C-alpha cells in the first residue's frame, strides 16, 4: 500500500512534517495542515461550503473527510514500515545539514528546526482504519472489532509498536467510522538511516526529541497496546472513571452512556501521539558514534513544555538581529506555519490543542514574559464541544494581553469549534500581515544549544 495513502493527512505528525519540509524547500503552507498546494482552491471551496451547512451535516461531512482517508481493515497487513520511512524522508531536500531531529512530534520543535534549517524524522504516524457498527462511546467494542487488523499490522512490521488509541472526547466525529492506529518505530528504519548518513557530516548533531509523557494502557499482544483517551481537556481520571463533566458531555450528544466502558488498564506506556518510544534510543546512540556525530537527547515531560522555551529563543534571536520582538503568534495543534512566522517576525508559541489547559499555559507564559504589542491566535476546530474545550470568549482573554493588536487569525468565532474553513483562512490572513522581513540566514546550532541547555523545563544530555 502506498504510504501516502496509509498515513492520515489530518494528523499532527503529518501536518508538521509537511510544514517543516515545505519550509526547507523555501515554501509556505497554503492549506495549513492539509493536502497540497495544487488542490488548495478546491479544498478551500469545500471547506467554506461546509461552514454554511446545518450542524448535523457539518459533522457528517467532517467525519466523511476522515473516513475517505482510512485504510480498509483487511489491508493493514499490506502496510510496510520501510515504505512509510522512505516516504517521510523523501519530503526533505537532499543536502548536507549541520543538525537534524528525530523522534516526538511537537510544534515548538518544528519552529526550532526551522530556525536552524534542520529536518525532522517523525517516530510516530497515524494510520486510520475503517470500521463500522461501533458506537463512539464504546471503546471496548472498538478494540474487539479491530484487534485482528492490529495484529496483522504488527505481524507484518516487526520494527513497529502499535498504540491503538480511542478518544471519544476530542475525536468523536472522526471515530464514528474509523479507529486510530498510531505506530512508532522501535528500530531505526533503513530509509531513515540512509537519509541521516547521507545528510549529516562528521561533527554534525543529531537531536532526539523525547516527550516522556506516559498514559494508562491495556496490553493487547506483542508490541500492541490500547490507549483510552488522549492529551487534551479531559483528565486521565475522567477517562477512567467518568464524572460530572463526562456525563454532561455524553448527555449533550445523545449517548446512551454516562461514562466510557473501556478494557481494564494493566500498565502504563509511552503516550500514543506525543510520546517517544525509548527502545529506539540505543540504535541512535550507536549510529551517532559510528558516524562521529554529537547526539543530543532533548527530553521534556509534556508536549507544551518546549513552547515557552522556543518562544523565548525566537525573541532573543530577533533582538540580536535588530528586529522587534513584540509580535506573538499563538498556534494550535497542526495549525502552524514556520515560513510566515519568520517572514512576519512573529514569536511562535505552540499549543497542543484548543482546550482549557492549553489556554491557561499561554496565559501563564504571558504573565511571565515581557509584553507583546501584537498577539495573533490560531484555533484548530475539531467539530466537537468536548470536555475541557476552551470557548472562543475564553481564548479572547489571551488577546486582551496585547498592548496594541489582539486578533483571532483565520478563526470564525461564531462557527468555532466547527470552523473547518479555518484550515485555509488562517494562511490567507497570515499572508496579509503588513510588516514583513527578509527570510533570515539559519541560526547557528551552537547559539540555540547554549540557550536551550540552560532552561529548567528541559532535560539536556549530550552523548
Model pLDDT for residues 424-446, shown as the tens digit of each residue: 899 999 999 999 999 999 999 99
Mean of pLDDT values over 218-238: 97
Confidence at 52, pLDDT banded by 50, 70, 90: low
Mean pLDDT of the chain: 94
Burial of 57 per CB tally in 10 Å (0-12, 13-18, 19+) = exposed
User: What pLDDT score was predicted for residue 47?
Assistant: 53
**Shortest CA distance to 282 belongs to which of 265, 295, 272?**
295
> Does 261 score more than 70 pLDDT?
yes
Res. 19 pLDDT band, cuts 50 70 90: very high
Q: How confident is the model at residue 67 (pLDDT cuts 50, 70, 90)?
A: confident
* Per-position b or e across 196-214, b if 16+ CB within 10 A of its CB: beebbeeebbbbbbbbbbe
Residue from 174, 125, 162 nearest 11 by CA: 125
pLDDT at 58 over 70: no
CB atoms within 10 A of CB 106: 29
Residue percentage of the chain with pLDDT more than 90: 88
Taking Cα atoms as reference points, which of 113, 82, 170 lies closest to residue 386? 170
Percent of the chain at pLDDT above 70? 93
What is the average pLDDT across 355-374? 98
Among the residue ranges 44-53, 111-120, 285-294, 305-314, the one predicted with the least confidence is 44-53
Quick count: other Cβ atoms within 10 Å of Cβ 94?
9
- Whether 38 has a pLDDT exceeding 60, the answer reads no
User: What count of other Cβ atoms lies within 10 Å of the Cβ of residue 24?
Assistant: 20
Q: The sheet that has 120-122: what strands, in order across it?
A: 120-122, 99-103, 205-211, 294-300, 459-462
Q: Does domain 306-452 have CATH number 3.30.70?
A: no
Q: Is the peptide bond before 14 cis (omega within 30 degrees of 0)?
A: no
User: What pLDDT is attached to residue 97?
Assistant: 98
Residue 40: pLDDT over 60 = no
For residues 91 and 17, is the Cβ–Cβ distance under 8 A?
yes
What residues does each domain of the chain span? 3-300, 306-452
Instruction: Please state at what angle helix 107-115 crosses helix 445-452, rounded to 10 degrees.
Output: 140
Q: Give me the pLDDT at residue 324, please.
A: 97
For 129-138, what is each residue's pLDDT tens digit? 999 999 999 9
Q: Quick: pLDDT tens for 183-208.
A: 999 999 999 999 999 999 999 999 99
Average pLDDT of the residues in 332-351: 97
Looking at residue 82, the DSSP 8-state letter turns out to be H
DSSP one-letter code for 431: T
pLDDT in tens, 73-96: 999 999 999 999 999 999 999 999
Q: Helices 281-291 and 190-199: crossing angle, nearest 10°? A: 30
What secondary structure letter does DSSP report for 421?
Answer: T
Q: How confident is the model at residue 48 (pLDDT cuts 50, 70, 90)?
A: low
Decide if pLDDT at 62 tops 70: no
Total-model pTM: 0.95
State residue 4's pLDDT score.
Answer: 87
Amino acid at each position: 500500500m502506498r504510504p501516502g495513502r496509509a498515513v492520515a493527512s489530518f494528523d499532527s505528525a503529518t501536518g508538521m512534517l509537511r510544514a517543516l519540509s515545505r519550509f526547507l524547500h523555501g515554501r509556505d503552507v497554503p492549506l495549513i495542515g492539509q493536502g497540497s498546494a495544487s488542490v488548495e482552491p478546491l479544498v478551500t471551496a469545500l471547506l467554506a461550503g461546509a461552514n454554511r451547512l446545518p450542524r448535523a451535516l457539518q459533522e457528517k461531512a467532517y467525519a466523511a473527510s476522515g473516513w475517505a482517508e482510512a485504510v480498509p481493515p483487511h489491508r493493514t497487513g499490506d502496510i510496510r514500515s520501510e515504505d512509510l520511512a522512505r516516504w517521510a524522508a523523501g519530503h526533505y531536500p537532499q543536502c548536507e545539514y549541520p543538525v537534524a531531529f528525530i523522534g516526538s512530534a511537537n510544534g515548538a520543535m518544528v519552529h526550532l528546526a526551522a530556525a536552524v534549517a534542520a529536518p525532522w524524522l517523525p517516530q510516530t504516524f497515524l494510520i486510520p482504519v475503517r470500521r463500522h457498527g461501533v458506537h463512539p462511546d464504546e471503546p471496548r467494542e472498538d478494540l474487539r472489532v479491530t484487534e485482528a487488523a492490529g495484529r496483522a499490522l504488527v505481524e507484518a512490521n516487526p520494527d513497529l509498536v502499535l498504540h491503538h488509541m480511542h478518544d471519544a472526547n476530542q475525536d468523536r466525529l472522526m471515530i464514528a467510522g474509523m479507529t486510530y492506529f498510531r505506530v512508532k518505530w522501535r528500530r531505526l528504519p533503513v530509509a531513515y538511516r540512509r537519509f541521516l548518513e547521507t545528510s549529516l557530516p562528521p561533527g554534525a548533531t543529531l537531536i532526539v526529541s523525547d516527550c516522556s509523557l506516559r498514559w494508562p494502557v491495556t496490553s493487547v499482544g506483542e508490541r500492541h497496546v490500547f490507549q483510552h483517551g488522549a492529551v487534551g481537556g479531559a483528565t486521565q481520571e475522567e477517562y477512567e472513571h467518568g464524572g460530572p463533566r463526562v456525563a454532561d458531555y455524553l448527555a449533550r450528544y445523545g449517548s446512551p452512556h454516562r461514562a466510557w466502558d473501556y478494557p481494564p488498564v494493566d500498565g502504563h506506556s509511552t503516550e500514543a501521539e506525543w510520546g517517544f518510544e525509548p527502545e529506539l534510543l540505543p540504535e541512535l546512540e550507536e549510529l551517532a558514534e559510528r558516524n562521529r556525530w554529537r547526539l543530543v537527547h532533548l527530553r521534556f515531560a509534556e508536549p507544551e513544555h518546549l513552547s515557552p522555551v522556543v518562544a523565548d529563543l525566537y525573541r532573543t534571536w530577533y533582538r540580536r538581529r535588530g528586529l522587534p520582538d513584540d509580535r506573538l503568534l499563538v498556534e494550535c495543534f497542526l495549525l502552524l506555519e514556520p515560513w510566515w512566522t519568520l517572514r512576519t517576525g512573529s514569536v511562535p508559541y505552540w499549543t497542543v490543542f484548543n482546550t482549557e489547559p492549553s489556554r491557561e499555559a499561554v496565559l501563564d507564559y504571558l504573565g511571565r514574559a515581557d509584553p507583546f504589542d501584537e498577539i495573533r491566535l490560531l484555533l484548530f476546530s475539531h467539530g466537537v464541544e468536548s470536555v475541557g474545550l476552551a470557548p472562543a470568549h475564553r481564548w479572547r482573554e489571551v488577546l486582551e494581553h496585547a498592548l496594541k493588536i489582539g486578533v483571532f487569525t483565520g478563526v470564525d468565532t461564531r462557527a468555532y469549534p466547527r470552523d473547518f474553513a479555518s484550515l485555509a483562512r488562517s494562511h490567507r490572513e497570515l499572508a496579509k500581515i503588513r510588516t514583513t522581513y527578509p527570510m533570515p540566514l539559519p541560526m547557528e546550532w551552537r547559539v540555540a544549544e547554549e540557550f536551550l541547555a540552560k532552561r529548567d523545563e528541559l532535560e539536556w544530555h549530550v552523548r
